[in-house]
Chain A
Amino acid sequence: MSLLSNKSAKEISDLLDEYGIKHGPVVDSTRNLYEKKLKEAMAKGKRPTSSPDKTFYREEEEEVTYVYTTPSRSDFAGERTTYMRSRPDWTEREQERSYSDYSRSKSEYSGKDMVDEPRMYDTPSTYRNSYVKSPPVKSDQKVPKTSSRLIPLWVQFVFFLAVAIFLYIIFSNMETNESLKGIV
C-alpha cells in the first residue's frame, strides 16, 4: 500500500482523472489539496473507472495500476475446480484481467501465489470482479505486493466448491434417468 505522497505528480494527476475529479496541474501548492481530494474519494468508496461488478469487495484505497496483457479470453464452464490465481490483491485493484490458457496456470497455481505475472482468473462470473480497464498495456508499473485480502483464498475456494456441488445436486435432481452421463 503506497502512500499518495510517494506518488509522482503524473500519477496523482492520473488518479484524479480516474476518479473524475476536475483538477489543474499538480504542483507544490496544489498537491496537498489533490491528495486530500483523492483520499476523500477513496474513502467514499467511489469506484474509479472500473467495473461495477464488485459485489464482494470494495476498494480500500486506489493505488497503482497493473499491466496485464490480454490474450484471448475463453469461456469457462462455471464448475471447474481448477482455480487459477490471479494477482493477490485483486480485491482492491482496478486492473485488467487477463485470460491465458489453463495448462500453464494449473501447474503454476500451487506454487506461485503472489507473482506479478499475468495470471488467469478463472471463477464463475457471479462473484468475480471483472475490471474493465481499457488500455491493455499501460506502462510497466508496479508489482502487486502481497497485501491482505478481504476474503482469504481458502474461503473463496471452499465457496466455489460449495456452489459447484450445489449446482451438481440441482442437475442431478433434474434428470429422472439414473444415468447422468453427458450432463456435466
Chain B
Amino acid sequence: MSSTSQKHKDFVAEPMGEKPVMALAGIGDVLGKRLEEKGFDKAYVVLGQFLVLKKDEELFRDWLKDTCGANSKQQGDCYGCLKEWCDAFL
C-alpha cells in the first residue's frame, strides 16, 4: 500500500485498548455494525480472529468478506492495519 489513511495511521500509532471495531481501517459504520452483530464488537476481537487465522492475508480477507461483506479495498485496508499493528505491538 503506497499511502495509508489517517484512520490507519491513528490505529497503528498506539495499543488498541478498547477501541471499537469501527476504529479499524477499512471498517466503517456499516461494516462495523455487521461485525458487532456477529459478536466482534471491539477491535481486539477482530485482532483475535486475525491471529487465529495466523495473520494470513488470504484467510483473513476471506473471513472478513464472509462475515461483514467487505469489498477488496476494505479487506486490504483492514488487513494492512492489523498487520502493521501487530508488527509494532505484538
A17-25, A73-81, A128-136, A165-173: which one contacts chain B? Answer: A17-25
Interface size of B as a range: 10 to 19
CB of A138 within 8 A of chain B? no
Shortest CB distance B4–A (Å): 26
Chain B residues positioned under 8 Å from A25 (CB to CB): 52
CB of B13 within 8 A of chain A? no
Q: Which residues 27-76 of A sit at the B interface, judged by CB distance below 8 A?
A: 27, 29-30, 32-33, 36-37
Q: Which residues 68-96 of A sit at the B interface, judged by CB distance below 8 A?
A: none
A32: contacting residue among B53, B54, B66, CB under 8 A: B66
19 new A-B pairs (CB below 8 Å) besides A24-B52, A30-B52, A33-B59?
Answer: A22-B54, A22-B56, A22-B58, A22-B59, A23-B59, A24-B53, A24-B59, A25-B52, A29-B49, A29-B52, A30-B49, A30-B53, A30-B63, A32-B66, A33-B53, A33-B62, A33-B63, A33-B66, A36-B66
Chain A residues positioned under 8 Å from B52 (CB to CB): 24-25, 27, 29-30
Shortest CB distance B84–A (Å): 20
- Interface residues of chain A, those whose CB is within 8 Å of chain B, are 22-25, 27, 29-30, 32-33, 36-37
How many residue pairs between the two chains, A and B, have CB atoms under 8 Å in the bound complex?
28
Shortest CB distance A43–B (Å): 15
Shortest CB distance B58–A (Å): 8
**Closest A residue by C-beta to B56:** A22
Q: 21 A-B pairs, CB-CB below 8 angstroms?
A: A22-B54, A22-B56, A22-B58, A22-B59, A23-B54, A23-B59, A24-B52, A24-B54, A24-B56, A25-B52, A29-B52, A30-B49, A30-B53, A30-B63, A32-B66, A33-B53, A33-B59, A33-B62, A33-B66, A36-B62, A37-B62
Q: How far is the CA of A33 from the CA of B49 in the complex (A)?
A: 12
Q: How far is the CA of A33 from the CA of B62 in the complex (A)?
A: 7
Chain A residues positioned under 8 Å from B59 (CB to CB): 22-24, 33
